[in-house]
Amino acid sequence: MRLNTDLALRRACAPIISDDVAIGVGEGWSRIVRDALVSIWDIHPAIRLQQVKAKMGGLVLFADGRHRRISWQAQEVIDAVRRRASDQSLTTCELCGHSGRLIHAGEWRVRCDGCEADQILRQRLASVCVHQVEEACRYYIAASISAGHLSDLERVIMPIGGLSPQEHAWFLDEVHDRLTWWRAGSRIDGVDERLREPFRGLVLTDDGDRQRLALDQRTRRAGEIRAAALAYVRECGRRNVVVDIEVFGNGRWKRDGAAKRQVMVDALRDEIARGVAVVDVWRRFEVPGTIARRLVGARSYGDLYRILMVQDMEPGFRPGDIALWVKAGKMSSEEGMSILGIEDPTDFAALLAAFPAG
């Protein structure tokens, strides 16, 4: 993962991930990790992530929830978030974030066709350039500490003679990887471990401003963000699709400048991932369960009810109500299935059977 992505992720999810826990996955999964961490943090702020890594090709998140007196309901919702993140990672290229597939070739990995085609050349470059990569890390760490801030790696590390532009880009990816791992506690030959703490205190030059802007907007416009989240979910309900959130947000904040607009769209995405707006609209019959489930990555209506429970929100209806309405002819089976987000008629028949009429 790139150093700036790693730092942005930590900033968005602090304090649930500490500096000595590596985010040991590729750039392509950064959004999945971020959404999962923000959701977990929201469910229980005392949770601490212990591992973020790829295992058997997929994303694995380990949290220490079981030791922190977290209710089983919250734990269930956290498990659902972790499963969803893992499922998403299995169809997302770990390197570039495009759609990918699980490949088994010596090791398991998820790659798109383009990245898989480059895999061997990329690995060969990494093994040939091991020493140059470490040299670049040593230089970058020393230069950053003496400057008192982090600069874009691309501007600090000059291309090595003989490398094509593509190879130089892969080389920089390696340097980014090693730096993020080192920052979290791994070793690089010839780098003094005592430099780690001061390095952790550094921020990217233009990051301070961006950070202040994001915090300021999220605080001052919190009400606006919540209202936008409700409007977004209703729009999904009205059109019966998962509306592109970027397009929706850009339209809603079209009068803001690009930087502010991006902050607001990111805040909106986080607000949807929290699930509160989604279940609030769902419990009022304004978005079908099928869409609500997709918005929060819920496996079944049970997950939606769990969010309501954890948030201490009253459900507008219960599965038993739906079953009785359908049996009484007040609602069609299709409507009942859509409201609860049940896709399999057999499952719905089982629900109806569980609630005898009268």
Q: Which of 60, 96, 313, 324 binds Zn ion (CB under 5 A)?
A: 96
CB of 174 to Zn ion, least distance (A): 16
Written as one string, the DSSP assignment of 306-347 is HHHHHTT---S--HHHHHHHHHTTSS-HHHHHHHHT---HHH
Q: Which is nearer to Zn ion, 29 or 171 (CB)?
A: 29
Give the pairing type, strands 101-105 and 107-111.
Answer: antiparallel
Cα 268 to Cα 69: distance, rounded to the nearest angstrom: 30
Tell me the per-residue interface mask from 140 to 169 with Zn ion, x by CB under 5 A, - otherwise.
------------------------------
Shortest Å distance, C-beta 75 to Zn ion: 34
Rounded to a whole number of angstroms, the minimum distance from the CB of residue 297 to Zn ion is 22
| Alpha-carbon span 267 to 222, nearest angstrom | 9
Q: By CB under 5 A, which span of 41-49, 92-100, 150-158, 329-337 interacts with Zn ion?
A: 92-100
- Site map for Zn ion, 226-265, x if CB under 5 A? ----------------------------------------
As beta bridge partners, residue 110 has: 102
| 25 in contact with Zn ion (CB under 5 A) | no
Q: State which of residues 74, 81, 115, 308 lies at the interface with Zn ion (CB under 5 A).
A: 115
Instruction: State the Cα angle at 51 between 175 and 211, rounded to 5°.
Output: 65
Nearer to Zn ion by Cβ, of 29 and 232: the residue is: 29
Q: How far is the CB of 115 from Zn ion (least distance, A)?
A: 3
- Distances 236 to 189, 219, 267 between C-alpha atoms, Å: 53, 26, 18
Of the candidate spans 41-49, 83-91, 97-105, 250-258, the one that interacts with Zn ion by CB under 5 A turns out to be 97-105
Nearer to Zn ion among residue 71 and residue 166 (C-beta): 166
How many other β-carbons are positioned within 10 Å of the β-carbon of residue 76?
Answer: 16
Among the listed residues 60, 91, 96, 106, the one whose alpha carbon sits nearest the alpha carbon of residue 173: 96
Alpha-carbon gap, residue 66 to 68, rounded angstroms:
6
Contact 267, 256 (CB under 8 A): no
Q: Which structure tokens are listed for 93?
A: 């290229």
Q: Is 110 in the site for Zn ion (CB under 5 A)?
A: no
**Pair of tokens at residue 11:** 């900033």
Name the segment binding Zn ion (CB under 5 A); options: 112-120, 148-156, 170-178, 204-212.
112-120
From candidates 95, 133, 137, 236, binder to Zn ion by CB under 5 A:
95
Considering the rule CB under 5 A, would residue 93 count as an interface residue with Zn ion? Answer: yes
Nearer to Zn ion, 47 or 59 (CB): 59
8 Å CB contact between 37 and 202 = no
Interface with Zn ion, residue 1, by CB under 5 A: no
Candidate ranges 95-103, 131-139, 206-214, 252-260; the one touching Zn ion (CB under 5 A): 95-103
Contacts to Zn ion by CB under 5 A: 93, 95-96, 98, 112, 115
